[in-house]
């Protein structure tokens, strides 16, 4: 945090002295380019575009993918409502059930929901547990679709030894409050597709960056102002490496808690390590084995050296959200998701002190 404070302070002092700082957030150079390079290096993906927020990233990506009225996208209803921002582009949302282990989009359920109008699969990693992006990618490509992973809450998570979401055609990240990498506000889109990268710049970045990267004849003045704030880029560049170290330490601690939970007869064992799954642990949401026995679980964990709080998981599927239904009632497929309903009914949230 000290490095971030120094970077932001130097920028502000230069501004107060009347020295106009370079417009690196418009051009995509300086701290923006440095942070994008760090994200490319971490994920192994070829292209990165920083944005003002995770929502701005999803909206820009929807425009770049041609998500419009008449197109459908498939997602699990276990998600923050903002993940379905493509509805504002006129698209139709089709819900498919979740995997019981990860509560992310089930590849087979998604396959069954595909129609000729489907354009994309959207896997949302709500609790920071990585989706089976390899299987979802196969499903998408078998049907000529695009796979997008909303990894807003799973930065730092891994699946089979690689960063979560990196098998997707596009990965979206968020850097706002409560996220593992917090820059005040910010987001990112990562992809290996050069053509998609150019369309993301065309719809979401300043014409100065478009001219620099796409050529003088290719810029779009009617652009969505989705670029990251310069102070957020400076902040991110300064804290990125230390944040990854902190994430790893937190994950190691939470895995010890998972092992303690799995040694009890009170909860369903979480199959993270056997499945090659390393969540970011945005939230830890085990499931009761039978009825809730909160006092016994707290006592069991205390004997193992863990002092925790247990709270009910109050989330519900998006199709039961009254505001969401009122806003988009004509563009949502309300088919029920029984696996998700059952899992949410027995899950709870556990917080270590």
Over range 191-201, report the average pLDDT. 98
Asked if residue 333 belongs to a domain, the reply is: no
The structure's pTM equals: 0.96
Residue 28 backbone zone (phi > 0: left; psi -120 to 50: alpha; other: beta): left
213 and 248 inside one domain? no
Q: How far apart are CA 149 and CA 166, in angstroms?
A: 8
**Are 132 and 203 contained in the same domain?**
yes
Query: Do 37 and 134 fall within a single domain?
Result: yes
Per the domain annotation, does 133 fall within a domain?
yes
Following CA atoms 136, 197, 173, 320 in sequence, which dihedral angle do they give, to the nearest 10 degrees?
-60
- Domain-embedded: residue 339: no
- Does residue 223 lie in a domain region? yes
> 6 with 242: CB under 8 angstroms?
no
Structure tokens at 248: 């790893």
Residue (of 105, 95, 109, 163) closest to 132 by Cα position: 105
In this structure, are residues 32 and 233 in contact, taking their beta carbons and an 8 Å threshold? Answer: yes
- Do 55 and 163 belong to one domain? yes
Residue 183 lies in a domain: yes
Number of domains in the chain: 2
- pLDDT per position as a tens digit, 283-315: 999 999 999 999 999 999 999 999 999 999 999
Q: In the structure, what pLDDT confidence band is assigned to residue 17 with cuts at 50, 70 and 90?
A: low
- pLDDT at position 103 over 80: yes
* Strand-pair category, 146-150 with 118-124: parallel
Q: Which of 241, 271, 305 is the last residue of a domain?
A: 241
173 plus 266 within the same structural domain = no
Mean residue pLDDT of the chain comes to 95
Mean pLDDT score, 262-291: 96
Same structural domain for residues 119 and 267? no
Residues 60, 86, single domain; the answer is yes
User: Considering only CA atoms, which of 260, 251, 242, 315 is closest in space to residue 279?
Assistant: 251
Q: Which residues constitute the domain of residue 111?
A: 2-241
pLDDT tier, 2 (very low <50, low <70, confident <90, very high otherwise): confident
The enclosing domain of 194 has a CATH number of 3.40.640.10
Instruction: Based on the fold, state whether residues 229 and 250 are members of the same structural domain.
Output: no
């Amino acid at each position: 945090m000290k490095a971030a404070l120094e970077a932001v302070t130097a920028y502000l002092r230069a501004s107060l002295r009347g020295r106009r700082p370079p417009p690196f957030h418009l051009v995509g150079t300086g701290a923006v380019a440095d942070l994008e390079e760090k994200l490319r290096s971490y994920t192994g993906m070829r292209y990165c575009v920083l944005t003002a927020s995770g929502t701005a990233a999803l909206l820009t990506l929807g425009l770049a993918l041609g998500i419009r009225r008449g197109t459908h996208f498939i997602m699990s209803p276990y998600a923050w409502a903002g993940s379905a921002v493509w509805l504002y582009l006129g698209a139709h949302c089709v819900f498919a059930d979740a995997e019981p282990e990860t509560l992310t989009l089930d590849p087979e359920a998604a396959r069954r929901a595909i129609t000729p109008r489907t354009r994309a699969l959207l896997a949302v990693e709500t609790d920071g547990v990585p989706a089976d992006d390899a299987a979802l990618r196969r499903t998408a490509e078998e049907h000529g679709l695009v796979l997008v992973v909303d990894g807003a809450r799973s930065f730092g998570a891994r699946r089979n030894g690689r960063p979560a979401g990196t098998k997707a055609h596009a990965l979206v990240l968020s850097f706002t409050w409560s996220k593992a990498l917090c820059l005040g506000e910010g987001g990112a889109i990562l992809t290996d597709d050069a053509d998609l990268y150019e369309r993301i710049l065309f719809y979401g970045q300043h014409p100065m960056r478009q001219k620099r990267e796409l050529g003088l004849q290719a810029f779009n003045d009617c652009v969505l102002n989705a670029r990251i704030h310069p102070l957020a880029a400076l902040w991110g560049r300064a804290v990125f490496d230390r944040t990854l170290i902190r994430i790893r330490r937190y994950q190691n601690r939470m895995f010890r808690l998972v092992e303690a939970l799995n040694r009890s007869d009170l909860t369903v064992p979480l199959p993270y390590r056997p499945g090659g799954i390393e969540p970011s642990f945005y939230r830890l949401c085990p499931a009761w084995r039978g009825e809730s026995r909160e006092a016994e679980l707290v006592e069991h964990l205390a004997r193992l050296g863990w002092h925790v709080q247990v709270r009910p998981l109050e989330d519900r599927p998006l199709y039961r959200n009254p505001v969401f239904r009122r806003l988009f009632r004509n563009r949502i497929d309300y088919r029920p998701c029984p696996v998700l309903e059952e899992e949410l009914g027995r899950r709870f949230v556990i917080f270590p002190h």
